[in-house]
Amino acid sequence: MSDKKISADLLRGHTDTIILKLLMEGDKYGYELAKQVTVKSGGEYELKEATLYASQRRLEREKAISSYWGDESQGGRRKYYYINTKGVEQFHINKQNWEYAKHILDELI
């Protein structure tokens, strides 16, 4: 892990896309999503709980993801999220937009 941390401002507009990508790998509950962001970024980025839950509510309202309550077999009851067809489509559109913006930024910086 380096001394530098990714600026939250840099990734703020991509939180929904990050969550959609993680859900494409399988159903996950909130803390699991946050932990995966930290692990997959090599500890360089931590998704704040408030940001995560705001994004989950927005994606659910937009019908990109849905949720269900898991059983209580391993402690407290957890709310799991899964991606819908609309969410997969949204992810691909967002990823194309990211690639386009990245191309422009690579040319400018």
* Residue spans per domain, the chain: 2-108
Q: What is the pLDDT along the chain (109 residues), one digit of tens a residue?
A: 455 666 666 677 799 999 999 999 999 999 999 999 999 999 988 999 999 999 999 999 999 999 999 887 666 789 999 999 999 999 999 999 999 999 999 999 9
Q: Cα–chain-centroid distance for residue 60?
A: 13
Q: Rounded to two decimals, what is the model's pTM?
A: 0.86
Q: What pLDDT sits at residue 5?
A: 62
Q: What pLDDT sits at residue 1?
A: 45
Provide CATH code, domain 2-108.
1.10.10.10
What is the C-alpha separation between 108 and 95, in angstroms, rounded? 20
- How far is the CA of 8 from the CAs of 28, 38, 51, 79, 107, in angstroms? 22, 13, 10, 26, 23
